[in-house]
Copies of this chain bind each other. A is one copy, B any other.
């Protein structure tokens, strides 16, 4: 008579609920401004209950990142393993991330910005970090291949990666306005700004 499947699911659902509440509070109050009391109130539990599901505030925090990066990674796998050329794959992935980021802006803003604001004892033994690194490695690889195949301007790929990464983050997250950027906009921008030397 161990825990039933349904019990597991409900527990997971409650965890989700807490993570959502936490995200809301983090968004409005910032990482340190958010208190466990507020998160508890927002998610509809007593504070002590939070600690029944998560051992610490930091674990709530990492829970959000884990969920986000895992989901993102999974949703990208088909694109990653497609057999289109590096340039197309690269751009497809960026567009897909952009779309997901627009649908869940708070979550993605958190995923992309929050980690910088930590200096804790997380010697990269966090799940989300491995997903993040894998994704970055894939993108870097596509960029390298694309450059060597002449599909991108011939530039140092590290530099290019930084530039595109920054460009991308700026595009999605900069500015208060929520005038939605369409997938088309992003595609156009990427194609305009990252010129393909083969297409004159």
Contact A170/B166 with A30-B119, A119-B30, A193-B194 known, Cβ cut-off 8 Å: yes
- Find out whether the CB atom of B159 lies under 8 angstroms from the CB atom of A181: yes
Chain B residues with Cβ under 8 A from A158's Cβ?
175, 177
- Total residues of chain A contacting the partner, CB 8 A: 39
CA distance A158 to B171 in the complex (A): 10
Mark out the residues of chain A between 145 and 200 whose CB falls within 8 Å of any chain B CB in the assembled complex. Answer: 153, 155-156, 158-160, 162-171, 173-175, 177, 181, 185, 188-189, 192-195
Bits for A87-119, please: 1 = Cβ < 8 Å to B, else 0.
000000000000000000000000001001111
Alpha-carbon distance A173/B181, docked complex (angstroms): 25
* Contact pick for A170, options B116, B156, B163, B188, CB 8 Å: B163
Candidates B29, B171, B188, B195; contact of A162 at CB < 8 Å: B171
Chain B CB within 8 A of A28 CB? yes
The 3 closest A-B pairs by CB, nearest first: A166-B170, A32-B32, A167-B167
